Chains A and B, each alone.
Chain A
Amino acid sequence: MSDVTLRPAGDAAWFIELEDRLDEAVNDRAIAIGRAVCAAGLPGVRDVVTGYRSVAVHVDPLRADATLEEALARLASEVTVATGQDAAIVRVPVCYGGELGPDLPEVAAFAGCSEDEVIALHCGRTYRVYMVGFVPGFPYMGTVDPRIAMPRRESPRVRVPALSVGIAGGQTGIYPTSTPGGWRLIGRAAVRPFDAARTPPCLFEPGTRVRFVPIGADELARLEGQP
């Protein structure tokens, strides 16, 4: 299709760009193109990274063919898009509020509702993983109910505890490790998004569908105690 643009990023990467908007259909198409590029096994391709509305193809310029640009353009125009509606849903148990979700009161104030209602709103939708980035395993998910879509903090925390669940505008995510971060923290997840010893190491990929399930502190302790 004509709305696909190919742009070089230096001589070691190409971007396959779609329409510049945050949109599930655009992201579905990026995901389908990313998978098609991976499956094609083109020489010199060493990483394929799907973003919200683009696919980055990292290449070893010494090994890539001169015809790579053409091959990518053809793959992008010929790809069939799956809607992702029948993809398996990953359930993520979350212990909300208290010390584990220190920003829950602020989000409730922002929304003008109770903390329980924020939890119900956050758990009431199936999210899509638009992309994974920032740190290993961090899923950028959307779209949260506009009532609880509180913008990120003006000044990021120096240290966000690992497995914190946060909101930043229309996005929600899980911090796989302890890092600095500015998202509003509302709870603690009982799953590890990334584990290098696991196959595959990452729980999420672009297109994964995610549902949060509220659990109590004792249930979190029980799940964390499991191997």
Chain B
Amino acid sequence: MAAVAVTKPGMLTTVQDLGRWGYQQSGVPVAGPMDPYSHRLANRLVGNPDDAATLEATVVGPDVRFEDGATFAVAGAEFPLTLDGAAIRPNAAYYAGPGSELRFGVRRRGARAYLAVAGGFDVPPLLGSRATSLVSAMGPFGGRLLRAGDRLPIGDARGGPGPGAEEPLPLVLPSGGAQIRVIWGPQADAFTEEARRVFTTARFEVTVQSNRMGYRLDGPRLAHVRTADILSEATPIGSLQVPASGQPILLMADRQTTGGYPKIATVITADLPTAGQLAPGDWIAFAPCSLAEARRALVALEERLGDVGS
């Protein structure tokens, strides 16, 4: 079977598909790409379905060797990509001949890039998904980071261009920080009026204590009205939970399924890809919006990806 070999693993490279849905009731994290938009874009550029497995590279990308010829594309964060030493563009499909080497280098903008190969990475699925959950050590390679020497089999390409009716456009990458839209709650009323005001006016910093589970944010303290404990409940993607310290944590792809801290607000689906492109040191500001605005923003993003009126 055709395969791609990892020659240098980069900082944090994992296999991801759209996530391990359906088992959160048993405590199984969803995982999946931090920037689902760019994961899907990379897949579409090579004619894959959206849920085909890609490699997610983080800040320092990997070097890989194509053991056999394959069509590939890289989307998401901007890296100085080279194929056999020649510079190549992101967001475009290329053919790599047998033995070709793809190098990522150190990112220029954004935090995470996605490498898709035509046919997808055909690693064995676990509970219906090829996503890597580092926190629960589930998924391909025992749910760990990729290492030098790992070989990733490539599935059968279905051929032909992506399904988009229009040329898909890349995500607008954040530069140093981003404004992110949120919907208040589910526990906004657990916070003081002052805390809610500060939450929407201050800038927070993504700290180094951030990973695929979530971003610990540094900024003004958000005070609870009474207590920082709630009866444990589900923690949806994009939740901003606030423990007793008053410093919010933005829950991302590999979050735990449940938690016992109040959640002041939740990032809208359309802005999760941008949030996934933030790195430690970047700022983040929150803008409340309505459910109707969230839906409009998502439709606009889907149009950008080439899904028109589907």
Interface residues of A (CB under 8 A from B): 7-13, 15, 17, 20-22, 34, 46-54, 56, 58, 61-62, 131-138, 140, 177, 194, 196, 200-202, 205-206
A205 to B22, Cβ gap below 8 A? no
- Given contacts A10-B238, A177-B137, A201-B127, whether A49 and B268 have CB atoms under 8 Å apart is no
Not counting A9-B185, A10-B182, a sample of 10 additional A-B residue pairs whose C-beta atoms are within 8 angstroms of each other reads A8-B266, A10-B238, A21-B231, A56-B234, A61-B269, A62-B302, A131-B232, A131-B258, A133-B232, A136-B29
Identify the interface centre among B30, B182, B234: most chain A CB within 10 Å of its CB: B234
Does B28 reach chain A (CB closer than 8 Å)? Answer: yes
A58 to B234, Cβ gap below 8 A? yes
Looking across the interface, which residue of chain B has its beta carbon closest to that of A30? Answer: B233
What chain A residues lie within 8 Å of B259 (beta carbons)?
133
From B22, B25, B291, give the contact of A8 (CB < 8 A): B291
From B24, B137, B268, B302, give the contact of A10 (CB < 8 A): B268
Does B263 reach chain A (CB closer than 8 Å)? Answer: yes
Does B236 reach chain A (CB closer than 8 Å)? Answer: yes
Chain B nearest Cβ from A186, distance in angstroms: 21
From B138, B233, B291, give the contact of A51 (CB < 8 A): B233
- Can you identify 29 A-B contacts, CB atoms within 8 angstroms? A8-B183, A8-B266, A10-B183, A10-B239, A11-B295, A13-B237, A13-B266, A15-B233, A34-B25, A46-B22, A49-B25, A51-B232, A51-B234, A52-B233, A61-B269, A62-B298, A133-B27, A133-B232, A133-B234, A133-B259, A135-B135, A136-B27, A140-B232, A194-B26, A202-B25, A202-B26, A202-B27, A205-B25, A205-B26
Interface residues of B (CB under 8 A from A): 21-30, 126-127, 135-138, 182-183, 185-186, 230-234, 236-239, 256-259, 263, 266-269, 291, 294-295, 298, 302
Chain B nearest Cβ from A202, distance in angstroms: 4
A49 to B257, Cβ gap below 8 A? yes
B236 to A13, Cβ gap below 8 A? yes
Chain A nearest Cβ from B269, distance in angstroms: 5
B256 to A12, Cβ gap below 8 A? no
- Given contacts A133-B257, A194-B26, A201-B23, whether A12 and B232 have CB atoms under 8 Å apart is no
Looking across the interface, which residue of chain A has its beta carbon closest to that of B230? Answer: A20
A56 to B233, Cβ gap below 8 A? yes
Q: In the complex, what distance in Å separates the CA atom of A175 from the CA atom of B24?
A: 17
Looking across the interface, which residue of chain B has its beta carbon closest to that of A133? Answer: B258
B267 to A61, Cβ gap below 8 A? no
Identify the interface centre among B126, B258, B268, B294: most chain A CB within 10 Å of its CB: B258
What chain B residues lie within 8 Å of A47 (beta carbons)?
21-25, 30
From B21, B26, B186, B298, give the contact of A136 (CB < 8 A): B26
B269 to A10, Cβ gap below 8 A? yes
What chain B residues lie within 8 Å of A11 (beta carbons)?
183, 268-269, 291, 294-295, 298
- Given contacts A9-B239, A61-B269, A61-B295, whether A138 and B27 have CB atoms under 8 Å apart is yes
Chain B nearest Cβ from A106, distance in angstroms: 23
B26 to A58, Cβ gap below 8 A? no
What chain A residues lie within 8 Å of B294 (beta carbons)?
10-11, 61
What chain A residues lie within 8 Å of B234 (beta carbons)?
13, 15, 49, 51, 54, 56, 58, 133
Q: In the complex, what distance in Å separates the CA atom of A205 from the CA atom of B232?
A: 15
Chain A nearest Cβ from B199, distance in angstroms: 15
Looking across the interface, which residue of chain B has its beta carbon closest to that of A69? Answer: B291
What chain B residues lie within 8 Å of A201 (beta carbons)?
23, 26, 28, 127
From A9, A21, A53, A138, give the contact of B236 (CB < 8 A): A9
What chain B residues lie within 8 Å of A22 (beta carbons)?
231
A46 to B21, Cβ gap below 8 A? yes
A9 to B186, Cβ gap below 8 A? yes
Q: In the complex, what distance in Å separates the CA atom of A10 from the CA atom of B264?
A: 11
What chain B residues lie within 8 Å of A135 (beta carbons)?
27, 135-136, 256
A196 to B127, Cβ gap below 8 A? yes
Looking across the interface, which residue of chain B has its beta carbon closest to that of A46? Answer: B21
What chain B residues lie within 8 Å of A56 (beta carbons)?
233-234, 236
Looking across the interface, which residue of chain B has its beta carbon closest to that of A204? Answer: B26
From B29, B137, B263, B298, give the contact of A9 (CB < 8 A): B263
What chain B residues lie within 8 Å of A34 (beta carbons)?
25
What chain A residues lie within 8 Å of B256 (beta carbons)?
133-135
Q: In the complex, what distance in Å separates the CA atom of A42 from the CA atom of B186?
A: 22
Q: In the complex, what distance in Å separates the CA atom of A140 from the CA atom of B25?
A: 12
Chain B nearest Cβ from A167, distance in angstroms: 16
What chain A residues lie within 8 Å of B29 (beta carbons)?
136
Chain B nearest Cβ from A4, distance in angstroms: 14
Q: In the complex, what distance in Å separates the CA atom of A1 from the CA atom of B135?
A: 39
Looking across the interface, which residue of chain B has its beta carbon closest to that of A53? Answer: B231
Q: In the complex, what distance in Å separates the CA atom of A52 from the CA atom of B258?
A: 11
A-B pairs, top 3 by smallest CB distance, nearest first, are: A133-B258, A56-B234, A10-B266
A132 to B26, Cβ gap below 8 A? yes
